[in-house]
């Protein structure tokens, strides 16, 4: 394990790379003084994702976990803060509102353009440098690699979508971030994952990480997996882990990651 102030990295030997950009909960002390009390509880964290995917390290997957909260900087947003979902509600590179639409900062304490630029260099850049370094290493070793961007979200968030989100939301940027064979394998397994529900390229098609780093023609295939938190935990404070539900979900996730790894290790060059 390699740990810095920005990330925790577990190196593996298989061509499977799992990124976790929203598991961080740390907030710099100076910034914390400017947040309101609700924001200090970092409610929009992808709770327990590192625990949910812990089995992946036994598969020799590499895992990159964030340490800073998405309220400091959102690692799954482009550095220029361009919206990934034009015309739809979303949060930015340095969010100023939470997922339920409430203010994050105390009155007059929101970051300006200069502060956002500094945060991008201080907190966004190191994590992405490590991601790119890992991908370059994989590309030098393997004909193909699958990068799995792991997320979770509350199942009901009216600000972003109507009704309840499916438990498995697969995002491949409308099929552009990976080979169709890989996409079909994962979606088929998700569809078979009773009692859970699934959608492919629905409300969430993959964020910056999935879209930017994908290069299927060069053997780099990326997938975003957005899970509903109700599938494995309590969706309200104190955000408790549900051991029984999580075990069922982990079974299906393991089948998916095993299929993704088999794809990466396949000798069939048409998958590039």
Show me where the domains of the chain are located.
Answer: 2-271
* pLDDT value at residue 86: 72
* pLDDT value at residue 239: 97
* pLDDT value at residue 36: 95
* pLDDT value at residue 161: 87
* pLDDT value at residue 7: 98
> Which residues on adjacent β-strands are paired with residue 265?
none
Query: For the domain 2-271, what is the CATH superfamily, name and number?
Result: Zn-dependent exopeptidases (3.40.630.40)
* pLDDT value at residue 155: 95
Token digits of residue 246: 């999580």
Alpha-helical (H) ranges within 87-179 are 113-119, 125-141
Distance in angstroms (rounded) separating the CA atoms of residues 83 and 224:
17
Could you state, in chain order, the average pLDDT of each consecutive group of 10 residues for the chain (272 residues)? 98 98 97 96 98 97 98 96 73 92 95 97 98 96 97 92 94 97 98 96 94 96 98 96 98 98 78 52
> Which residues on adjacent β-strands are paired with residue 215?
220
Distance in angstroms (rounded) separating the CA atoms of residues 163 and 217:
37
Token digits of residue 9: 């990295």
Q: pTM to 2 decimals?
A: 0.95
* pLDDT value at residue 268: 52
Look at phi and psi of residue 126 and say left if phi exceeds 0, alpha if psi is from -120 to 50, else beta.
alpha
């Amino acid at each position: 394990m390699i740990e810095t102030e920005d990330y925790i990295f577990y190196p593996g030997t298989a061509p499977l790379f799992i990124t976790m950009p929203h598991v961080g909960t740390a907030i710099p002390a100076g910034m914390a003084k400017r947040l309101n009390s609700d924001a200090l509880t970092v409610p929009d964290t992808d709770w327990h994702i590192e625990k949910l995917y812990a089995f992946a390290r036994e598969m020799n997957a590499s895992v990159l976990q964030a340490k800073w909260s998405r309220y400091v900087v959102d690692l799954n947003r482009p550095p220029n803060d361009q919206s990934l979902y034009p015309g739809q509600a979303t949060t930015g590179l340095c969010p100023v509102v939470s997922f339920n639409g409430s203010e994050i900062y105390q009155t007059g304490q929101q970051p300006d353009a200069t502060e956002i630029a500094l945060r991008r260099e201080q907190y966004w850049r190191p994590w992405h440098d490590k991601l790119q370094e890992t991908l370059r290493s994989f590309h030098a070793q393997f004909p193909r690699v699958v990068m799995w961007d792991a997320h979770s979200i509350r199942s009901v968030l009216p600000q972003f979508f109507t009704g309840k989100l499916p438990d498995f939301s697969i995002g491949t940027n409308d099929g552009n971030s990976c080979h169709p064979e890989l996409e079909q394998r994962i979606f088929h397994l998700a569809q078979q994952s009773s009692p859970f529900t699934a959608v492919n390229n629905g409300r969430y098609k993959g964020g910056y990480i999935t879209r930017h780093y994908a290069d299927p023609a060069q053997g780099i295939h990326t997938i975003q997996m957005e899970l509903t938190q109700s599938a494995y935990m309590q969706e309200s404070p104190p955000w408790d882990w549900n051991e029984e539900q999580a075990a069922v979900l982990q079974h299906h996730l393991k089948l998916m990651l095993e299929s993704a790894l088999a794809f990466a290790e396949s000798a069939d060059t048409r998958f590039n």
